[in-house]
Structure 1
């Protein structure tokens, strides 16, 4: 009867007749191991030990012995049994002696086993995830579907300065830097809803109020029914990287000595200025500035003094023009000032006069007052004929030399020259003469 019950139940059951040493496992138990009654009809102690994982044999023997001796009311232990395919199945084995002889010697034991492989795998995965969270160098925060923080790790606390109990129950806005607008976060949540994840750079604020740049990845965790169970955010500090990027970008665009722009920045700003002029119908002025008397100071007091003068003068030039204008050092004592968004050409004249004044005022220096002046050449955009940025720089350079020839400490505007009329042809010379280039009217500093 017992054997019939064992075979008919939906549980994995076993019966062990101890005196003949015969272990019977029902079809459900055999199927759990990939077997059938034909492939594994009966077992004895040796066959049972062959099914057991080698490291679990001692565990079973001790549990079995304690029960048979009466120390435990039943045998209960977790074991790994080998599947016919070769992998291991984790089962919880439960059973007890159900029949003894007149002397109390066990004759038969019976019981069940439960497949707990999936449960153990889940527990192992959870334990592994817990270890990852604890030991990860990435800051991790987990929120519930309402975006309330339910878990942070130690790396989060180190990076943000917050203790875990200070943020639990809060929302991630506790880290808000104020540097991102509503559209930024709307796009983030749209990506999370559409793709289940978002990654990118974000500025956050530490507990002490300092800002940090982070690379952040956020994932949506969904249940089997598709509902949101949690949001997991992982991030690390990239502030130093951003600072290095900014320094490299500055080194590429700005003069190392004076801090004003260099040729690369000038080219970029000039292209933008000409395009904006075309769109809005405004004027652009390009002023080429060369210092008068700088070589004498360099020769007399040395290059260190000359460098200090250049630094001080570059800052003066920067203050003399508007925020939208660009001051560039081409090299040596030569500068370019790009003046943009002018309603008319005449608007540049006052700015150029301020540049002349800034250059000519004495500069206090440890070696004593230093004084130079400037010769400035100015040209404008747009012009009657098409012209690009390089042509404008060439025109301004021509006008600057005109200002130098006219006596220095003044500016000159580049003027286009009309082609000269052809001379009358003669029997001895019938070549056509032409003039090219430009002339400039020189203006001294008032």
Structure 2
């Protein structure tokens, strides 16, 4: 089949539902798409546009065209989906890895392709997205691109850390790496300017007057571990720990070091350490993990986070013998709201419901958007009666909201362990109760 190409670009910076936080504000994200239907690709690109991505996409429909494009152009992410005969998602990923081991790969599958999606994840896919839940696609693409950038940055840093003694002088003057020596008691013996700047000291001499163990390392346990590792092994394996800057603010550092030999070759009593400030890197990773567990429109937990929390709560409940409940919600008349008021008002309705759920929750509860107009709340330490009261409070809050259009929900309750021993059965019970209520509302 001939190769087809399609480009979509958008220049805005902020994704909806992230309070102005940019998901991806750099250059255009370049996609290579292996799929047989351009209409599907149009939907995917439109979803990315709605999340205010700037994207360009090239679509290929044969392994030959796929390999040719990889060899001729540079891409940020590969998307693939089933439909091309004899060319499954796993085969696309296998061919991709032959040419590029680090290229992010996202598979878009259907509900019946769970095995295919699990196989792709096992073979190193960055993520899998259900085609009927495309709201996750922008987050999946953003995470895949950012994780690749973080991996490349970390690899570059590790290469720097492994430089030979021939490059020592250049490294010691590098402003991004702190280099220092300390004795078995933790007293600084020497430090470079980069380390002093990293910790907020005016000069290396001011820093050397400090004691690493007493003034810099925040955690006494980490302090002991570092000194014991040096005393026992004579070197420091790569380790991360929390330090304290001169002004008292915390920072995260990655350390690696070795014993220093004297000029005569005999072991010295000091250890030389290279320190890298990874505070921003870890903060970025934490943000990516948060994005991966958050619904972009509402800011609530997404379905993946909901399922993970349910699994964890079931284990806790089985261990302690204490029940917990899950409330399932369906926003009534969502299609009518979209038809009468438009999708912006429809999105606003979803956000209003999300705000109501969030404000109605305790700190231990987990409100989540399952997809579309479906929501849920996990209520730890809660039985059927208390869950029913919580559902009534939420319905009353919506009834008191005078913003147009007025909102109402159908609610279902499931309680573990009596209503379900696993995630699926518990959610199914809550859904059955929800649709029973919806049927009664229609009859009324």
Same fold judged by TM-score > 0.5? yes
In the alignment, structure 1 segments of 5+ residues that lack a partner are: 1-124, 409-441
- Report the 3-state secondary structure (helix = DSSP H, G, I; strand = E; otherwise coil) of the residue aligned with 2:409: strand
The secondary structure found in structure 1 opposite 2:185 is coil
The answer on whether the counterparts of 1:289 and 1:377 sit within 8 Å (CA) in structure 2 is yes
Over 3 Å counting, the alpha-carbon distance change for 1:203 and 1:145 in structure 2 is closer
What residue is the counterpart of 2:314 in the other structure?
A: 274
- The one-character-per-residue Cα deviations of 1:191-226 (angstroms, maximum 9, x if unpaired) are 223322132222334345544322222434466898
Q: 1:332 to 1:175 in 2, by over 3 A?
A: farther
Residue by residue, what CA displacement relative to the aligned partner does 1:332-367 show, whole Å, maximum 9, x if unpaired?
22101111123x432323322222233333165xxx
Could you tell me how far apart the structure 2 residues matched to 1:356 and 1:177 are? 51
TM-score where L is the length of structure 2: 0.56
Q: Is 1:375 equivalent to 2:410 in the alignment?
A: yes
Q: Which has the larger radius of gyration?
A: 1
Partner of 1:341, secondary structure, is: coil
Structure 1's 149 and 393: CA in aligned 2 closer, same or farther, altered over 3 A? same
Question: Partners of 1:175 and 1:301 in 2: how far apart?
Answer: 61
Answer whether contact 1:378 1:400 (CA < 8 A) is retained: yes
Q: CA deviation at 1:243?
A: 2.7
Q: Trace 1:314-393 onto structure 2 (pairs within 5 A).
A: 314-342=354-382, 344-362=383-401, 364=403, 369-383=404-418, 387-393=421-427
Instruction: For 1:173 and 1:143, locate their aligned partners in 2 and report how far apart those are by CA, in whole Å.
Output: 10
Q: Distance in 2 between matches of 1:406 and 1:176?
A: 65
Over the aligned positions, Cα root-mean-square deviation in angstroms equals 3.1
TM-score normalised by the chain length of structure 1? 0.56
| Offset, 1:379 | 1.3
Aligned runs of 1:244-263 on 2, under 5 Å? Answer: 244-263=284-303
Answer 1 or 2: higher relative contact order, Cα 8 Å, separation at least 6.
2
Query: 2 CA distance for matches of 1:272 and 1:147?
Result: 42
Deviation at 1:396, TM superposition (A): 0.8
Mapping 1:124-273, distance limit 5 Å: 129=168, 132-135=171-174, 137-163=176-202, 164-172=204-212, 176=216, 178=218, 181-196=219-234, 197-221=236-260, 229-273=269-313
Partner of 2:331: 291
Residues 231 and 290 (structure 1 numbering): CA distance in 2 closer, same or farther, change over 3 Å? same
SS in 1 for 2:173: helix
Give secondary structure in 2 for the equivalent of 1:234.
strand
8 Å Cα contact 1:201-1:215 kept in structure 2: yes
Q: Per-residue CA shift, 1:230-255, capped at 9, x if unaligned?
A: 13221112233223322321222111
| Cα displacement string for residues 376-433 of structure 1 (whole angstroms, at most 9, x for unaligned residues) | 000111128x63110111111111011111227xxxxxxxxxxxxxxxxxxxxxxxxx
Query: How far is 1:316 from its partner?
Result: 2.3
Q: In structure 1, what is the Cα distance between the partners aligned to 2:184 and 2:228?
A: 15
The count of aligned residue pairs is 278
Distance 1:174-1:269 versus aligned 2 partners, 3 A rule? same
In the other structure, the counterpart of 1:404 is: 438
Q: What is the CA deviation profile of residues 133-176 of structure 1, one whole-angstrom value per residue up to 9, with x for unaligned ones? A: 23474211222333222321122133233122321220125764
**Structure 1 132/331 Cα, relative in aligned 2: closer, same or farther at 3 Å?**
closer
Using the alignment, how far apart are the partners of 1:381 and 1:127 within structure 2? 64
Conserved in 1, the CA contact under 8 Å of 2:388 and 2:413? no
Confirm or deny: 8 A CA contact 1:254 1:260 kept in the other structure.
yes
Superposition deviation, residue 289 in structure 1: 0.3
Runs of 5+ unmatched residues, structure 2: 1-163
**Structure 2 CA distance for partners of 1:393 and 1:127, relative to 1, 3 Å:** closer
1:288 is displaced (CA, Å) by 0.8
Q: Considering fraction of residues, name the structure with more strand.
A: 1
Q: 1:213 to 1:175 in 2, by over 3 A?
A: farther
